[in-house]
């Protein structure tokens, strides 16, 4: 890895910190990394970011870079990148990384969340759709989603599952199961009526 002079390191740190804190999902982050950053392997990319950003920022970077939202810092194998972070963080840093990775990935739009879970290898592929469906009502509630918001996200998810109809079918089954159990609680009745027989 190319060693940067201290002044460049400081400037780079500020750019990366600003990117991670404010620019989540922004495409315009070229120049935030060294020139050779895109040629590094995944572990080296994670190592660099770990040295220049907080653990929670690293977690967000891994999610966004794996989804292609960080063009110069694309992570090709999320499972390797996450394993590297877990192996090289300890104590409170490890807890902060782990918590933010879980929180950030679980609050992504449904299609992106499925991709992160698949790439991270954290879920059994046979159960992934069902688990996403079981979690989805909580996502709707936390994000105060309207029926239109839900429809839009379900359409994007269906497109993402175009080559995997089993995952989509399992998702719908899990989603409808929770809606039936949850019916009458704090979600608008329109949500239940629109999706309980979806």
Cα–Cα distance measured from residue 42 to residue 83, given in angstroms and rounded to the nearest whole number: 11
DSSP SS3 for 40: coil
pLDDT at 14 over 70: no
Average pLDDT for residues 12-21, to the nearest whole number? Answer: 41
Q: What is the pLDDT of residues 93-136, one digit of tens each?
A: 999 999 999 999 989 999 999 999 888 876 777 888 999 999 99
Copy the structure tokens of residue 86.
Answer: 């877990």
Cα–Cα distance measured from residue 61 to residue 16, given in angstroms and rounded to the nearest whole number: 10
CB 33 within 8 A of CB 51: no
Q: What is the pLDDT of residue 185?
A: 87
DSSP 110-136: HHHHHHHHHHHT-S-TTTHHHHHHHHH
Q: What is the pLDDT of residues 39-67, one digit of tens each?
A: 999 999 999 999 999 999 999 999 999 99
Alpha-carbon torsion, ordered 97, 115, 196, 150, to 10 deg: 80
């Amino acid at each position: 890895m190319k060693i940067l002079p201290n002044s460049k390191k400081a400037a780079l740190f500020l750019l990366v910190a600003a990117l991670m804190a404010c620019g989540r999902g922004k495409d315009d982050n070229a120049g935030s990394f060294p020139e050779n950053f895109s040629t590094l392997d995944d572990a080296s990319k994670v190592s660099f970011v770990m040295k220049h950003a907080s653990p929670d920022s690293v977690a967000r970077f891994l999610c966004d870079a794996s989804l292609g939202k960080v063009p110069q810092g694309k992570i090709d194998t999320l499972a390797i990148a996450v394993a590297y972070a877990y192996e090289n963080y300890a104590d409170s840093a490890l807890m902060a990384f782990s918590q933010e990775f879980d929180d950030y990935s679980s609050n992504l739009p449904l299609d992106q969340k499925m991709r992160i879970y698949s790439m991270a290898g954290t879920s059994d592929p046979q159960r992934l759709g069902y688990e996403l469906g079981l979690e989805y009502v909580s996502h709707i509630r936390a994000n105060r989603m309207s029926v239109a918001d839900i429809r839009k996200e379900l359409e994007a998810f269906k497109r993402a599952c175009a080559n995997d109809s089993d995952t989509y079918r399992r998702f719908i089954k899990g989603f409808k199961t929770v809606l039936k159990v949850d019916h009458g609680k704090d979600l608008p009745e329109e949500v239940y009526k629109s999706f309980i027989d979806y």
